């Protein structure tokens, strides 16, 4: 049996892992939860078809594939938390003298367990968040968030009558996907250009956004433009809610680490052919920004609704639960 790994920058990266990463980058897969599912699925596939003959070789493959996946979205905390849990579980099994087949089974079990808990958290967020909407509400949202969409759909299923402003979310236009999904569900939806937020926010009752990460101080990392929208809403006295699973709370920020903000391909903003015509022109395309906790009213988690100042407690609890999970 031939191993399906490829040599890449001095590391042995499984072909399914590389294909998944390329697919995410090409398609710009929407939302941290979706990307986490895809990454853990690729890691599970790599483990199942690994031809490693020793525990040491298997652990080396797993570590390298995990590092490669983690580099896909450095700001995605559910991705890093999921990979951390898998590695912790496998290391525990290896310490208990598990053989390669048992380690494969551990990877499968750990990835599936994390995915189940992540999905369960989103369902609970939908239940809790739906209670925050009432008849007649106008909600403004930005970017693609499984948790936000879950809240809006659940509130609609419960019979609430409300409408939603959805920003296009340039340059990758994931707001178009959100608008299609909500409208198809029967929710009154208006798609607006990003720069029109200050014009429409006065007509909104709530701003509801997701998060790629939540820092220990209650700041959130989310799609670029979120910080501006939250600041505009705060100035207009519109409440800002963030929907985020506790698996998106960053342990590293408790110790002063910063969440890295990735920059994406500038060709999403300006085509390569145009850039080549203008050698003195540069294009910046940061994927995310940081929203101050002062501009956030509440964070909706599967454990309940908290003020951003309470994020540090969730980080501490999450750190303990992830390190002790089995």
pLDDT at 29: 57
Backbone phi, then psi, for 190, in 5-degree steps? -125, 125
Nearest-angstrom CA–CA distance, 93 and 227: 43
**The pTM is what?**
0.85
Six-digit token pair at 209? Answer: 């956004």
Contact 191, 176 (CB under 8 A): yes
For 5-123, CATH number out of 1.20.120.420, 3.40.50.460, 2.60.120.260, 1.20.1050.10 equals: 1.20.120.420
Nearest-angstrom CA–CA distance, 208 and 242: 6
pLDDT of residue 8 exceeding 50, the answer is no
124-321 matches 5-123 in CATH topology = no
Q: Are strands 188-192 and 213-214 parallel, antiparallel or unpaired?
A: unpaired
Instruction: List the chain domain ranges.
Output: 5-123, 124-321
Q: What is the pLDDT of residues 24-58, one digit of tens each?
A: 665 555 677 888 988 899 899 999 988 889 999 99
**DSSP notation for 122-133:** HHHHHHHHHTT-
Beta bridge partners of 206: 139, 239
Question: Average pLDDT, stretch 55-82?
Answer: 88
SS3 158: coil
Q: What is the pLDDT of residues 240-299, one digit of tens each?
A: 999 999 999 998 887 777 788 888 889 989 999 999 999 999 999 999 999 999 999 999
Nearest-angstrom CA–CA distance, 61 and 63: 6
For 124-321, CATH number out of 3.40.50.620, 3.20.20.70, 3.40.190.10, 3.40.50.10470 equals: 3.40.50.10470
Question: Average pLDDT, stretch 75-98?
Answer: 90
pLDDT of residue 68 exceeding 70, the answer is yes
Contact 155, 130 (CB under 8 A): yes
């Amino acid at each position: 049996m031939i191993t399906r790994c490829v040599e890449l920058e001095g590391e042995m990266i499984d072909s399914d892992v590389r294909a998944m990463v390329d697919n995410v980058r090409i398609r710009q897969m929407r939302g941290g939860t979706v990307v986490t599912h895809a990454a853990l699925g690729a890691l599970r596939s790599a483990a199942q078809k690994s031809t490693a003959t020793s525990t040491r070789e298997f652990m080396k493959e797993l570590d390298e594939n995990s590092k490669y996946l983690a580099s896909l979205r450095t700001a995605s905390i559910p991705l890093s938390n999921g990979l951390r849990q898998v590695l912790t579980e496998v290391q525990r099994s290896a310490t208990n003298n598990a053989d390669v087949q048992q380690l494969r089974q551990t990877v499968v079990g750990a990835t599936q367990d994390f995915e189940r808990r992540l999905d369960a958290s989103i369902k609970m967020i939908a239940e809790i968040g739906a209670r925050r909407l009432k008849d007649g509400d106008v909600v403004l949202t930005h970017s693609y968030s499984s948790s936000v969409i879950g809240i809006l759909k659940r509130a609609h299923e419960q019979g609430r009558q409300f409408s939603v402003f959805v920003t296009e979310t340039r340059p990758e236009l994931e707001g178009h996907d959100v608008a299609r999904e909500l409208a198809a569900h029967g929710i009154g939806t208006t798609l607006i250009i990003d720069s029109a937020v200050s014009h429409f926010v006065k007509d909104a009752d709530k701003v509801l956004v997701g998060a790629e990460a939540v820092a220990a101080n209650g700041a959130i990392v989310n799609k670029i433009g979120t910080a501006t929208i939250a600041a505009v809403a705060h100035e207009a006295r519109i409440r800002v809610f963030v929907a985020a699973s506790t698996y998106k709370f960053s342990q590293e920020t408790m110790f002063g680490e910063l969440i890295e903000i990735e920059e994406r391909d500038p060709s999403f903003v300006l085509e390569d052919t145009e850039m080549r015509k203008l050698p003195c022109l540069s294009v910046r395309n940061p994927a995310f920004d940081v929203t101050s906790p002062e501009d956030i009213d509440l964070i909706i988690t599967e454990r309940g609704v908290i003020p951003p100042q309470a994020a540090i407690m969730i980080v501490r609890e999450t750190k303990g639960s992830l390190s002790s999970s089995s």
